[in-house]
Amino acid sequence: MRCLYLDLDGTLLGRGGSLLHDGDGTTSLLGVRALEACLRADVEIVLMSGRRRETVWNPARLFGQTSYIYEVGSCLVLDGEEHWLTGDLVPGENGSIFEQVAASGAPDLLLEHFAGRLEYHHPWHRGREVSHLFRGLVDAGEADRVLAEHGHGNLRLVDNGAMHAGRTNLAGLEQVRVYHLIPEGVSKARAVAAHMQARGLRRDDCVAVGDSREDLAVAAQVGTCWLVANALERDPTIREAIPALDGTVRIAEAGYGPGVYEAVVTTLAERR
């Protein structure tokens, strides 16, 4: 094991985005111990998150890591250098990618089509460079069809799992999920593949741990993809996608930081 690709919210971080608490708010140092085990074994830790750059860079720096993935794979920062993975949409004279997507009218189209079921994920939608961040309960496949029908086939809506924090102005939804509007082709899996290529890593060198379908897609790139227990508690339908992944997916008995610890320690012990 040479590299761990690790999601933040709902995976390493517990209630309120805390590194030192699990999903119930109980104090736990197991997430920290998982990081310590990686560092002692000379395993690189690459955070992969839907968060904007600053809020991924800060924890990566605290863990002593120089590479990370932000905004659902829109950008890979490799040893401090940004590598955009957004295709034809790049920052430039027309503004940031976020501004270009806003100018296209695609976000307003989705908000109108899904009125009462979708809204911006305030205040975390601010200060982003690429993705437009929403919350609500919609069919991402339907959203992609609407985008394509209106000339926005270069964009897609990604379901990034259940909302972990914040309030909503949407009433009557059975649950609230978080969505990213990003350029077509952008994904955590693609960013992981780019990092692996840059580092010269083989599939069996790498492990991923996450809690969402977007994290699960990384299984195609790594030797083993672990899901923390709360992934299935929040979205039982994820289990339906596992059989097609050729046994590369494992489910931790514990959730959040303790689940990450279980994944890391189990993998390190098995690969001695």
- The structure's pTM equals 0.91
Residues 198 and 262 in one domain: yes
Residues 172 and 138 in one domain: yes
214 or 164, greater pLDDT? 214
Considering the domain boundaries, does residue 170 fall inside one? yes
Residues 169 and 39 in one domain: no
- Domain termination residue (choose one: 183, 200, 234): 183
- Count the domains in the chain: 2
Parallel/antiparallel/unpaired status of strands 224-227 and 249-251: parallel
Residues 72 and 106 in one domain: no
Model confidence at 34: pLDDT above 80: yes
If one counts every other C-beta atom within 10 angstroms of the C-beta of residue 232, the result is 17
Considering the domain boundaries, does residue 90 fall inside one? no
Q: Quick one: the chain helix, strand, coil %, rounded to 5?
A: 40, 20, 40
Model confidence at 157: pLDDT above 90: yes
Considering the domain boundaries, does residue 91 fall inside one? no
In sign, the C-alpha dihedral spanning 214, 41, 77, 17 is positive
- Domain termination residue (choose one: 149, 183, 217): 183
Considering the domain boundaries, does residue 61 fall inside one? yes
Q: What is the CATH number of the domain that holds 67?
A: 3.40.50.1000
Residues 10 and 125 in one domain: no
Considering the domain boundaries, does residue 173 fall inside one? yes
- Per-residue CA distances from 93 to 4, 90, 106, 266 (Å): 36, 10, 20, 49
Predicted pLDDT at 165: 67
Average pLDDT score over residue span 216-222:
95
In sign, the C-alpha dihedral spanning 257, 72, 111, 96 is positive
What pLDDT, in 10s, does the model give residues 39-81? 999 999 999 999 999 999 999 999 999 999 999 999 999 999 9
Residues 72 and 127 in one domain: no
Give the mean pLDDT of the chain. Answer: 94
Residues 20 and 159: their CA atoms lie apart, in Å, by 27
- Of the chain, the percentage scoring pLDDT greater than 70 comes to 99
Residue 138: domain span = 97-183
Tokens of 239: 């289990």
